Amino acid sequence: MPEESSAHTELENERQYVAGLYHRLDELRDEKREQLAQVRRSHSAGSHQNRSERDAFATMYEDRLAQLMAVDDRLVFGRLDLDDGETRYIGRIGLSTADLQRLMVDWRAPEAGTFYQATAFERQGVRRRRHLMLKGREVQGLEDDVLDYSMLEEGQDLQGEGALLAALNSKRTGQMSDIVGTIQAEQDRIIRAPLPGTLVVQGGPGTGKTAVALHRAAYLLYTHRERLKSAGVLLVGPSNAFIRYIERVLPSLGETGVVMSSLGQLMPGIAATAEESAEAAEIKGRLSMADVVARAVANRQRNFTEPRRLNIEGTWVTLTPKQVSRARDRARATGKPHNEARVTFVKILLRELTDQMTEILEESAGAGNSTDRAYLAEDVRSSRDVRVALNLCWMPLTPEKLISELFSKPGQLEAAAPELTDAEREALRRSPDAPWTEADVPLLDEAAELLGELDASAGRDSAALEEARKRDLANAERAIENTEGFLEDSGAHGILSAEDLANHNMATEQRLTAADRAAVDRTWAFGHVVVDEAQELSAMQWRLLMRRCPLKSFTVVGDIAQTSSAAGATSWQQALDPFVGERWTLEELTVNYRTPAQIAEAAVRMANAAGLVVSAPKAVREGLWAPFLDEVQQGGLLPRLLETLTEDLAAIEGGLLAVITEDHRLEQVREEVTAVYGNRVGTGAGGLSQDIVVISPREAKGLEFDAVVILEPSELLTAAAGKVGDLYVAMTRPTQRLRLIAEYGIPAGIDGSES
């Protein structure tokens, strides 16, 4: 009874303290809202410096308010009792009183590191580590790790199932949760590793690679704020479904300024789909394709075989191959991209044609007569024959046009890629209106780098800037005219001018964060790049990413054994050595926190039987079920699926179940399951109302589910050039239960057999 009373007192004390933390959080939110409102109420007139200062304050308050709004869930999760008597609370952000008395330490701060690193053998001054389990804003339970055993003699006790196991056993929701309260020591060491250089985090399924990558991004932004706030951090994932799955994690860790992108979105303005042809993906992913694109650009800087006669206002002039060749050489010598160097090419030839025109007209007019050269220069510039000739020699190009024509016009591809076989060139053939694929994105980016801006003077011409300003004012005037009635009713008529509105719109654009600007700027140089499922990247995709971060500051996470892309890596050396040499370090995660031991061991046996050597991280827990292996007669795949779904859903008690199958079956399987379960069925990581998803192995990468059903596992083995990765990935997605249904046999090793 006394022990129960003591536990209740401890719980109530923690509830009171946590209530105080939330009260302070609400105070800060109100404070930032009021400060932001005051800034917004201030008039936009005044000097440019005044407006800039106002906008800077507005951005600061907006960012801080966004951070404060994102950390409500499980605001505080830990407490340290130290040898010197200090009690230190650990949470998502740092909190202090109005007079700067510290209430809670940000989990990324150096003094919070002992929460993750201290052990009974190396206490680091910690007597007790307490985990606080919250539901909403209220503490529901406590769990104490007593590191100083003298505390047990004082009547302290260890209670609860353990914060880590509680988190592992919780139901999946279709959105990834952070692990900030349960980071383990080997994970924490990697998260807090130094910023410079390329850090590779190798880990088998369930080891928390993605969680480590996300928490490392948050840690680096906190620790290196000055450097990374302006340059930004880019996080790259394997699919849009994966990005949706992880998108809430970083805001919950107090960071809202990270650019998150799938591989198909790395070229602004392009939303690419998966590459259907494994052969085409492999060819496009070769590093030699950079040379192919460079040749394709050079081949669009052409020459005539014979002199060309041009009509300028009734006067005939001659453009010779020698003139074109000389102008082309001088333009190339500038070292500028294609479209920018074209300006030099055109200027040279226009001047030479103007000189020729002047000579012809002066000769015909007789000695002593001079021709108005300025007038003639305009005639030459506007001549249709001249424009056509110059464009034939050096056409301005967009990346989309270059790559589309490269793959849709056999002659261009043959000229640019003579090293490819006829079969390889045929594999790259596509129609001009075919959708862009993920394998095309690095080629488009390469082309953009070589071509440069289509309008070389865009953004630098003061006349153009003035014209843009006039357009902004005209748009503002129209906006005020269209809302005149509303302004009059609101009492603002005559107060808000078109110039005020134009200034406000310009200021709004200037207030964009580094992350906002970086997301739409292909040439942005990030301060750090995090790459998840990095084993899937082709050499050309790596080349693109290296261009995004010239400092080569990377966190690379993945598992070579899970490679399923035809263009993916077979080793980290193969992936990284061409770009960073030996200047990368390798860390390995060795504990499987997600997958129950029975399922993890079956996946490893399958991979080994198929000839793949995989790391076998130790599972931290036994599951309730070994894998269910259902072999059915031909035509029995879907009936068996529908028959067992009820049982599997009941077993996971409201958790999330994934049906994983090859692409050619997806539509039929989704239709059959939807006919029974309606809007409970979704795709990707699912939605809030969906507890069943039907997806491909590729879409499942990086995701996790309470239960997984794999249809025809042998197909996953034979797809994608027979790589084992697809089936290995699919088998290691569940946190509780796995079922395989097969018409053509269960692959060797899964049931413990060797053949």
**Does 285 carry a binding-site annotation?**
no
**Distance from chain centroid for Cα 418:** 35
Burial pattern 117-140, b for ≥16 Cβ within 10 A else e, equals bbeeeebeebbbbbbbbbeebebe
**Does 321 carry a binding-site annotation?**
no
**Does 203 carry a binding-site annotation?**
yes
pLDDT tens digits for range 189-204: 999 999 889 999 998 8
pLDDT at residue 271, rounded to an integer: 85
- Cα–Cα distance between 542 and 546 in angstroms, integer? 6
| Across 654-682, average pLDDT | 92
**Does 683 carry a binding-site annotation?**
no
Find which of 391-395, 562-566, 698-702 is predicted with most confidence, using mean pLDDT. Answer: 391-395
Residue found under tokens 């050079």: 298
Q: Do 720 and 565 contact (CB within 8 A), yes or no?
A: yes
Residue found under tokens 């994102």: 70
| Across 142-171, average pLDDT | 58
- Cα–Cα distance between 352 and 248 in angstroms, integer? 61
- Cα–Cα distance between 697 and 728 in angstroms, integer? 9
**Does 354 carry a binding-site annotation?**
no
Residue found under tokens 């190339």: 332
| Across 3-17, average pLDDT | 80
**Does 229 carry a binding-site annotation?**
no
- Cα–Cα distance between 210 and 221 in angstroms, integer? 17
Q: Where are the beta strands (DSSP E) in 409-558?
A: 528-531, 554-558
CA distances from 398 to 280, 287, 312, 452, 540 (A): 22, 22, 29, 9, 19
| Percent of the chain with pLDDT strictly greater than 70 | 82
Q: What would you measure as the largest C-alpha separation in the chain, in angstroms?
A: 122
| Across 730-743, average pLDDT | 93
Q: Do 67 and 106 contact (CB within 8 A), yes or no?
A: no
Q: Do 394 and 343 contact (CB within 8 A), yes or no?
A: no
When the pLDDT of each residue in the chain is averaged and rounded to a whole number, the result is 83
If one compares 563 and 360, the residue with the highest pLDDT of the two is 360
Q: Does the pLDDT of residue 682 top 80, yes or no?
A: yes
Looking at residue 201, the DSSP 8-state letter turns out to be: E
Q: Does the pLDDT of residue 755 top 50, yes or no?
A: no
Q: Quote the tokens at residue 221.
A: 């932004």
Q: Quote the tokens at residue 521.
A: 């700027």
Bridge-based pairing state of the strands 705-711 and 657-660: parallel
SS3 label, residue 70: helix
Q: Does the pLDDT of residue 109 top 70, yes or no?
A: yes
**Does 206 carry a binding-site annotation?**
yes
- Cα–Cα distance between 143 and 95 in angstroms, integer? 23
The number of beta carbons lying within 10 Å of the beta carbon of residue 329 is 11
Q: Do 257 and 515 contact (CB within 8 A), yes or no?
A: yes
Least confident of 96-110, 160-174, 634-648: 160-174
Q: Residue 4: is it exposed, middle or buried by C-beta count within 10 angstroms (0-12/13-18/19+)?
A: exposed
Q: Do 286 and 539 contact (CB within 8 A), yes or no?
A: yes
**Does 125 carry a binding-site annotation?**
no
Does the predicted model carry a pTM greater than 0.85?
Answer: no
